[in-house]
Chains A and B, each alone.
Chain A
């Protein structure tokens, strides 16, 4: 068993997902199968191997710190589920 039902619950919470008890069982089963398959990677000794996070040799991409035209406020609010024409509106926090 790679992952338990309780761990699935915990991970769902981290991921901000709500899962029904049926989904939870299915996910536990499926994730176990998948994670068991991932065990395959342990056949390889990778002690001194440098991890790759980027397949192309690129140095940091710096640019001048200058202000450029960006999205206008009214355009950025256009797709908001709720806004007051100036800001995004969310359920009360405090």
Chain B
């Protein structure tokens, strides 16, 4: 058996019945990592020794504790999520040596559930990017075609899951950073409702959007991980005090009685024909399974990119003001005065895309421009949010492509920031509205690159998206395919 191929739920039952040990699975994953990492480059930091130690600990302790749902399961965590005592770089030179003195709430919950931490995955610097080319350390490759991008910003996590360099992973999504790389790498990714998962210890990019979520080999695993990480946290004042359902229960129901909205603004002329075809084929399967498909309209969709790429840089420019070379992070030795030290530390520590967004945000918030940009974009955000609230009166979920094209080639858009931003067109509106979104594989391009379907649900209805995704997965064979790495 290829142990590295296991999902969480498969490994759980094999561990519980004593058919495999965590040590054997973890060792098989590290062998895989050693073989593939020179090409895939999914990780920034690997924790070989401590992971093997944790595996032996769980094997010895046994798997009777029902509360420890992830006991002995090796996971990867995106390098934007603080892990106590383990370097957390955010893909940035400015945090290259940062060792968090505390655990994020999500890391704490994962540990309490018993997971083994394999390492920290690569990402676009401060989660700003759609290709992983903005990492200060390395460019992760798409396991399906090594000269293509894995997507971003959680590209390391998505590539690690797709290449079986972990059992599952954690990512974060601000404008599509879980859904888009999951789609490009042919795996499952879930962005929860804003406020569903605590952001405590998630390094801030754009605070009114950022959410942590799972990237997994199948929908069942996404439900299992959401169960572990969701819930109110007093340390995050924007986390929502709502009761967490058992998301795995969402998977038992079929699609009878479900109405699926097909927003016409997501199926437009000029989009990639194979993406269009795959999404439509998935809709046909959902209909065949008993769902009713209806044509709906989200009239402000086309304003999502502009609104997001004003608001998110504004929030980023404010959040990233904390990197001043004083309390933590990189300090330039060239500055003689305090002001010079600030300037040089920030200029040498941040990469070009981060600087660009800080500049855009600072400009949009500066005297005289605030109303024209930030306020205007926030008003358009209201219109986009209302579009969704309105449309969810006609249907329970929405189904769209995740991205207008399959993964693009490395270097293709790196010199053209606007083109890069426009590739997020289908994921941004849900981020602006704060609703949950699930990416599931639904097809493959003739070149061999995966294509993903996005399932959007109303606030706090992750269960509905998972239910639709699970039924689709059970009735297609795309998620059984593996990238051509062997």
Q: Give a binary string over B304-347; 1 marks a CB under 8 Å from any A CB, 0 the rest.
A: 01110110000001000100111111110001111111111011
B277 in contact (CB, < 8 A): no
Identify the interface centre among A17, A31, A58, A63: most chain B CB within 10 Å of its CB.
A17
Residues of B within 8 A of A76 (CB): 101, 327
Q: Using known A-B contacts A52-B382, A56-B195, A79-B328, determine if residue A91 contacts B338 with beta carbons closer than 8 Å.
A: yes
Evaluate contact between B327 and A79: CB separation under 8 angstroms: yes
Evaluate contact between B329 and A56: CB separation under 8 angstroms: no
Q: Using known A-B contacts A58-B238, A79-B327, A81-B325, determine if residue A17 contacts B366 with beta carbons closer than 8 Å.
A: no
Residues of A within 8 A of B377 (CB): 38, 41
Q: Using known A-B contacts A56-B434, A58-B238, A91-B338, determine if residue A17 contacts B346 with beta carbons closer than 8 Å.
A: yes
Interface size class of chain A, counting residues whose CB lies under 8 Å from the partner chain: 35 or more
Evaluate contact between A17 and B343: CB separation under 8 angstroms: yes
- Whole-angstrom distance from the CB of A41 to the nearest CB of chain B? 5
B378 in contact (CB, < 8 A): yes
Looking at chain A's contact residues, the main secondary structure is loop
Residues of B within 8 A of A1 (CB): none
| B104-112, B262-270, B355-363, B471-479 - the one binding chain A | B355-363
Partner of B240, one of A11, A49, A58: A58
Evaluate contact between A63 and B234: CB separation under 8 angstroms: yes
Per the bound structure, the CA–CA distance linking A91 and B101 in Å amounts to 25
B258 in contact (CB, < 8 A): no
Residues of B within 8 A of A51 (CB): 375, 378-379, 381-382
| Size of interface on B: residues with Cβ below 8 Å to A | 71
B102 in contact (CB, < 8 A): yes
Q: Give a binary string over B129-151; 1 marks a CB under 8 Å from any A CB, 0 the rest.
A: 00000000000000000000000
In A1-60, which residues have CB < 8 Å from any B CB?
3, 7-8, 11-12, 14-19, 23, 27, 30-31, 33-35, 37-38, 40-44, 46, 49-56, 58
- Whole-angstrom distance from the CB of A85 to the nearest CB of chain B? 15
Per the bound structure, the CA–CA distance linking A51 and B303 in Å amounts to 15
Residues of A within 8 A of B317 (CB): 15
Evaluate contact between B376 and A41: CB separation under 8 angstroms: yes
Partner of A79, one of B98, B234, B375: B98
Per the bound structure, the CA–CA distance linking A42 and B377 in Å amounts to 10
Per the bound structure, the CA–CA distance linking A35 and B193 in Å amounts to 29
Residues of A within 8 A of B56 (CB): none
Evaluate contact between A31 and B378: CB separation under 8 angstroms: no
In A60-87, which residues have CB < 8 Å from any B CB?
61, 63, 71, 75-76, 78-82
Q: Give a binary string over B228-259; 1 marks a CB under 8 Å from any A CB, 0 the rest.
A: 00000010011010000000000000000000
Q: Using known A-B contacts A16-B346, A18-B347, A90-B326, determine if residue A56 contacts B379 with beta carbons closer than 8 Å.
A: no
B62 in contact (CB, < 8 A): no
Identify the interface centre among A30, A71, A88: most chain B CB within 10 Å of its CB.
A30
Evaluate contact between A38 and B362: CB separation under 8 angstroms: no
- Whole-angstrom distance from the CB of B349 to the nearest CB of chain A? 10
Evaluate contact between A11 and B195: CB separation under 8 angstroms: no
Residues of A within 8 A of B359 (CB): 8, 11-12, 15, 17, 27, 31
Residues of A within 8 A of B375 (CB): 51
B380 in contact (CB, < 8 A): yes
Q: Give a binary string over B374-410; 1 marks a CB under 8 Å from any A CB, 0 the rest.
A: 0111111111010000000000000000000000000
Partner of B376, one of A14, A19, A34, A46: A46
Q: Using known A-B contacts A31-B363, A33-B418, determine if residue A79 contacts B195 with beta carbons closer than 8 Å.
A: no
Evaluate contact between B306 and A90: CB separation under 8 angstroms: no
Residues of A within 8 A of B448 (CB): none
- Whole-angstrom distance from the CB of B415 to the nearest CB of chain A? 9
Residues of B within 8 A of A50 (CB): 379, 382
Q: Using known A-B contacts A37-B418, A56-B434, determine if residue A14 contacts B344 with beta carbons closer than 8 Å.
A: no
Question: Footprint of B on A, CB under 8 Å?
Answer: 3, 7-8, 11-12, 14-19, 23, 27, 30-31, 33-35, 37-38, 40-44, 46, 49-56, 58, 61, 63, 71, 75-76, 78-82, 88, 90-93
- The 3 A-B residue pairs whose C-beta atoms are closest, nearest first, are A55-B434, A51-B378, A81-B331
Q: Can you report 5 A-B residue pairs in the complex whose CB atoms are below 8 A from each other? A: A17-B350, A27-B356, A71-B101, A75-B101, A80-B327
